Amino acid sequence: MAVTDRVHTPPPTRQRPPRDRRVKRLAFSRKVSTWDVKLSPYLYISPFFLLFAVTGLFPLLYTAWVSLHEWNLIGGQGDFTGLENFRFVLVQPFFWNAVGNTFSIFLLSSVPQVVLAIAIAAVLDANLRARTFWRMGVLVPFVVAPVAVGLIFNNLFADQAGLFNELLTGVGLDPVRWHADSFASHIAIATMVNFRWMGYNALIFLAAMQAIPRDVYEAATIDGAGRLRQFLSVTVPMLRPTVIFVVITATIGGLQIFDEARVFDQGGLGGADRQWQTLTMYIWELGWGQRNFGRASAVAWLLFLIIVVSPLANFLPTRRIADQGGRR
Amino acid sequence: MNPRTRFITLSAAAASLVLALSACSSGASENSGVEGETGAEDVTLSIGTFNEFGYEDLFSEYEELNPNVTIEHKKAATSDEARDNLTTRLAAGSGLSDIEGIEMDWLPELLEYSDQFADLADPAVEGRWLDWKSAAATTEDGALIGYGTDAGPQGVCYRADLFEAAGLPSDREAVAEMLEGDWQNYFDAGKEFVAASDGVAWFDSAGATYQGMINQVENAYEENDGTVIATENPEVKDIYEQVLQASVEDGLSAHLTQWEPDWVASFQSDAFATKLCPGWMLGIIEGNAEGVEGWDIADVFPGGGGNWGGSYLTVPTQGAHQAEAKKFAEWLTAPEQQIKAFESKGNFPSQVEALESETLLSQTDPFFNDAPTGEILVDRANAIEVRPFKGPKYFPINTALQQALTRVDVNQTDDADSSWEKFVTAVGAL
């Protein structure tokens, strides 16, 4: 109908009214069914997006609005300041320190986490006795609350009285200064993150591994490939989509590390020299410590941009690694 | 009427009744504020506290005295949790309890928003508290936003056995005499002690000691008008250098950070011999040092008296029953009730009259070698003269300075000068 509108229609007097009505009705019901086909899928998924608009998009945009103002936690909205909050935050050494810490902790946790999770999944994929027990077992750390994990590890990593340093001095090594040395603190925090997430990722990998057709392995066995060779040349390349999925979710989660780092000492500000202050903790310090919501929102938005860009950046190398495996 | 219609009619009637009642109660209290009538209608008062206020038994007592009042207690585990809850709900404009307990250190920030809290000034409570206690909760226009509960007058806790081993006087009168004087005198005694003992430090932490010192400075970080002077104030820098000289150069510190697991564990290992201790710290020492003998407390504090901590009860203006809430808070913070809270949890009262109470004065503590802790802390409370000014930026500045001390004393990743530079940067970023 839209098309016929544009051409010059013949005078209406030439058309017979009953026929016209029938055509219209037919056109209408066809239209309804076209709508049904075209719109229904969107209607079915719309609850998610409506909910997202309320709980995700609105806070996102509101945060952007807050970041353009002076804004106190209790006092509320102040003057419009344009991009001043962003300018202020971007010249702060504390901001860049937090960016560095965030990426350092993220790399120290994500890389070993993915590698070890694949290894654990491969072991769980083998013919074990009491399979379900072992598979559920790796998930136990995941159901422990992060703050509880933090408190337990906090005692293990205590500089003087902690178990890890007791063990190190026991075998004649120097104790590690977990709360003074920046890199050591990152390792300690990454350990907590790994402890919590490794089993979870291992189960995702395990599910993907079980979807790999067994005849591929049989063919490899006939070709004379051993277990290790099969793992590297068949399992890992076939896991490619799952690896990408896990890497992206690990990036999103890893860049927002908060709980483990916050409970690493009692102050919760990331150490006396901000050795392990992550971006989310910096947001906390600005927003709730200094009550400056404007600056906190500016950092929150910068973090959002970093999170959006990062998976794209590591999508490429991830794909190349998987591709190389596939070509062999 | 069949059962179904009857049910519907009944619930409709109940609903309209509820609507009418709620409209009535909210309408009445909104206008009255803290001056409204009390004791007439039935109310449920909620009270938010944290840690141990020691009020549990008092709640039922008040309910018996005031049959129209039902009390609902919301207890947060830590003061940090309570603070987050308070600020978030203040910002939201609803959700606070009728009475909210607050810690002394939050006052400077809250006084900025004093219109969020009812003015509790009343002839009935004039002169009830120690001067500095009520002054800290009073705005410039004379509004009193909180009723004082407990206080934290500080003495010096020490290990008599370690003192004796190092050849220092060990009974509490002699120790008080030895430590009477300024901070340099306290540090000098420390040097003597450290030289004569085997690897035991004089105090636990540079940060804790600094806190005792800075609380005796009237305008440490900010002028009364809010101008930040922290980085230029020679008094602050002097104290900073003095405490680090003592901690690091003279080796008097055990290089611990208060509240960290290492600090908690150190009570079991003879790591240090003295500790600045407000009344509420006694219970903490007793818990951490369980099984260790030799702790005692001396009736002395270097540089004059000092207070650390203590709380208040406030009545947020967003509450629906402010008059009833004020009456309840007034009753809870009366000397008689605070003495009962002291008996229950050891919270040292901040009320003038309570300091003369026989119950308080006769209190002794078996863990501290049967020291007359009640009498000593009353003396310590009366010795407090300076009321340090704490402005809106006190909290973040003090945190930055504590971090500066930790870098030098505990982490040893900086020396005093480079750490001070970082402190200046941090204050500049506020």
The ipTM value here is 0.79
Indicate the pTM of the whole model. 0.82
| Residue closest to A153 by CA, chosen among A195, A202, A117 | A195
Q: What are phi and psi of A258, to 5 degrees?
A: -140, -60
Question: Of A154, A158, A272, which has the smallest distance from its Cβ to B403's Cβ?
Answer: A272
Q: Do B87 and A73 touch (CB under 8 A)?
A: yes
Nearest to A288 among B84, B403, B426 (CB): B84
| Number of CB pairs, chain A paired with chain B, less than 8 A apart | 78
Distance CA B146, CA B134 (A): 8
Nearest chain A Cα to B408, which residue? A272
Residues of chain B with C-beta less than 8 angstroms from the C-beta of A291: 87, 109
The topology (CATH level 3) of A86-327 is MetI-like fold (1.10.3720)
Beta-carbon separation of B91 and A179 below 8 A: no
CA distances from B30 to A16, A226, B25, B121, B296 (A): 72, 80, 9, 19, 53
Whether B92 has its CB under 8 Å from any CB of chain A: the answer is no
pLDDT of res. A324: 54
- Are B393 and B222 a contacting pair, CB within 8 Å? yes
Q: Report CB contact under 8 Å: A267, B413.
A: no
Choose among A220, A247, A246: nearest CA to A235: A220
CB contacts of A158 in chain B (<8 Å) are: 260-262, 265
Q: Cβ atoms within 10 A of the Cβ of A71, count?
A: 23
Of B107, B100, B102, which Cα lies nearest the Cα of B143?
B107
Dihedral angle of Cα B332, B334, B335, B338, to the nearest 10 degrees: 10
CATH topology of domain B154-304+387-428: D-Maltodextrin-Binding Protein; domain 2 (3.40.190)
Contact call for B260 and A158, based on CB within 8 A: yes
Q: Does A79 touch chain B (CB under 8 A)?
A: no
Residue A15 forms contact with B (CB below 8 Å): no
Q: In chain A, what are the domain boundaries?
A: 20-67, 86-327
Which candidate, A229, A224, A235, places its Cα nearest to that of A124? A235
- Residues in contact with B133: Cβ distance below 8 Å, sequence separation at least 6, in sequence order: B148, B151, B310, B350
CATH fold of B12-151+309-361: D-Maltodextrin-Binding Protein; domain 2 (3.40.190)
Q: Which of B117, B403, B424 to mutate to test the interface with A (most CBs of A within 10 A)?
A: B403
Question: Nearest CA to CA, how far is A146 from chain B (Å)?
Answer: 17
Phi, psi for residue B102 in degrees, rounded to 5: -130, 160
User: Which tokens hold the place of A161?
Assistant: 């009285």
- Mean pLDDT for each consecutive 10-residue tract of chain A (328 residues)? 47 52 70 87 90 92 95 87 94 95 93 92 87 89 85 88 91 92 95 91 93 91 90 89 88 89 87 93 90 94 91 69 52
CA pair distance A178, A265, nearest whole angstrom: 11
Q: How far is B44 from chain A (nearest CA, A)?
A: 27
Pairing mode, strands B201-203 and B311-314: unpaired
Neighbouring C-alpha atoms within 13 Å toward the C-beta of B12:
6
Two tokens at B45?
């008062």
A75 reaches B (C-beta below 8 A):
yes
DSSP string, B154-210: EEEEEEHHHHHHTT---SHHHHHHHH-S-HHHHHHHHHHHHHHSSS-EEES-HHHHH
pLDDT value for A23: 60
Residues of A in contact with B406 (CB under 8 A): 272
CA distance B221 to B218: 9
Phi, psi of B158 (to 5 degrees): -150, 165
Q: Would you call A179 an interface residue with chain B, using a CB distance cutoff of 8 Å?
A: yes
Rounded distance, CA B350 to CA B129, Å?
A: 6
DSSP per-residue codes, B55-116: -HHHHHHHHHH-TTEEEEEEEESSHHHHHHHHHHHHHHT----SEEEEEGGGHHHHHTTGGG
**Class of residue B405 by CB neighbours under 10 A (exposed 0-12, middle 13-18, buried 19+):** buried
Residue range B120-136, pLDDT digits in tens:
999 989 999 988 899 88
- B261 vs A158: CB contact, 8 Å cut-off? yes
Q: What residues pair up with B47 in beta bridges, in sequence order?
A: B73, B99
Cβ neighbours around A177 below 10 Å, total: 18
Burial letters B382-391, b for 16+ CB under 10 A, else e: ebbeeebbbb
- Average pLDDT of each block of 10 consecutive residues along chain B (430 residues)? 43 42 40 73 92 89 93 86 88 92 89 91 91 89 93 94 94 95 96 93 95 92 90 95 95 92 91 92 90 94 90 94 94 93 86 91 92 93 87 88 94 93 92
- pLDDT on residue B419: 96
Which residues in chain B are classed under CATH 3.40.190.10? 12-151+309-361, 154-304+387-428
Test mutation, A166, A176, A273, chain B, max B CBs within 10 A? A273
Query: Given CB atoms, is A273 within the 8 Å cutoff of chain B?
Result: yes
Report phi then psi at A311, rounded to 5.
-60, -35
Cβ–Cβ under 8 Å, residues B202 and B193: yes
